[in-house]
Amino acid sequence: MKKKVMEYIDNFIGNSIYDILKFIFFY
């Protein structure tokens, strides 16, 4: 259960960072 939550948080943070970097580099 905890591993699943951590995995979800990790994916959420990773996607957010990716979107921010994409926005910065392609702005």
Domain count, the chain: 1
* Full-model pTM: 0.44
Query: For residue 27, what pLDDT is reported?
Result: 67
**1-27 confidence digits (pLDDT tens):** 789 988 998 888 888 988 888 888 886
Q: Which domain holds residue 1?
A: 1-26
CB atoms within 10 A of CB 15: 10
Give the pair of three-digit tokens for residue 12: 């959420």
Query: For residue 2, what pLDDT is reported?
Result: 84
Write the DSSP string, 4-20. Answer: HHHHHHHHHHHHHHHHH
Whole-number Å distance between alpha carbons of 7 and 9: 5
